[in-house]
Structure formats: C-alpha cells, structure tokens
Structure 1
C-alpha cells in the first residue's frame, strides 16, 4: 500500500466527522433548515462521506514526515 493511500485512509474518518459536525450545526442552527432536518441530515451524512475522501487525498502529502538537514545544524 502506498504511503499516501495509507495516510488518506487514516485521516478520512476524522475529516468525515468534522464535515458532518459542521453540516449538522448549520442545518440545526438555522430555523428554516431545522424544519427539514429529517431530510437534510441524511444529505449532510452522504455529502460529508463523499467529500472526505478527496479532502483526505489532498491533505495526505502534507502530513508525510520530512527530514530537512542543513550544514548549519551539523556543526552544533
């Protein structure tokens, strides 16, 4: 398994949780949307699940460990 795929898989669930939480807060805090929460909350769940994978795929390379060595640190 590629490292990027592994990292994306690990962070997709927390990203999904954040997206769902933000969507649920929006739906439940706006009175006009709260009336239709019975239908909108499942839409938020599906949209969050669908959006989590691409967002995790974009973030995964930024989470890889990088080693930056310079000559200045070697003399210490």
Structure 2
C-alpha cells in the first residue's frame, strides 16, 4: 500500500464531507431543487462519494513534505541562506 493511497484515504473522508455539505446546501436553498429534494438528496450523496475519490487522489501528493521543495533542494518557506554582502 503506497503512501499516496494512505494519505488519499484519509483525505477522502474530509473531501466527501465537504462535497456533501456543498451539495446539500445547494439542494435545500435553491427552490427548484428543494421541491424535488427526495430525488436530489440521494443523488447528492452518491455524487459526493464518487467525486471525492479522484479529488482526494489529486490532493494526496501535495500533503507530502517532498512535494513542497524546489527542484534544487531549497525549501520554499523559511529564512534564506544567501547573503547580499560580498
């Protein structure tokens, strides 16, 4: 089991919750969708389960420390080691 899969499985749960929240708020606040909420809520649940997996897979490598380094090895954030004075 790769590290990316492990991280993605943890991120999947959070991504699923966010997508479901966005979807259910949209269903309940848009009057045209709220009239048929019994049809839209199960669709929202299914869509959040399906869409969360690829989104979590894309997010997972970004959570690894190696991803945030420059190609030359310098860390993006932090104090600079270069000096301006010769």
> The TM-score by the shorter chain falls in which range?
0.7 to 0.9
Aligned length: 73
TM-score, structure 1 normalization: 0.87
**Higher relative contact order, structure no. (Cα contacts within 8 Å, ≥ 6 residues apart):** 1
* Alignment match, 1:5: 5
Cα-Cα RMSD:
1.8
Question: d(CA) in 2 for partners of 1:32 and 1:53?
Answer: 29
Counterpart selection for 1:72 from 62, 76, 81: 81
Runs of 4+ with >4 A deviation: 67-71
Question: d(CA) in 2 for partners of 1:41 and 1:6?
Answer: 29
Question: d(CA) in 2 for partners of 1:63 and 1:72?
Answer: 25
- CA displacement at 1:19 relative to structure 2: 0.2
* Alignment match, 1:40: 40
TM-score, structure 2 normalization: 0.77
After superposition, give the CA deviation of every residue in 1:29-50 in whole Å (9 maximum; x if it has no partner).
0111101001100000000000
- CA displacement at 1:65 relative to structure 2: 1.6
Query: Within 5 Å, which residues of 2 pair with 1:41-56?
Result: 41-56=41-56
Structure 2: gaps (5+ residues): 75-79
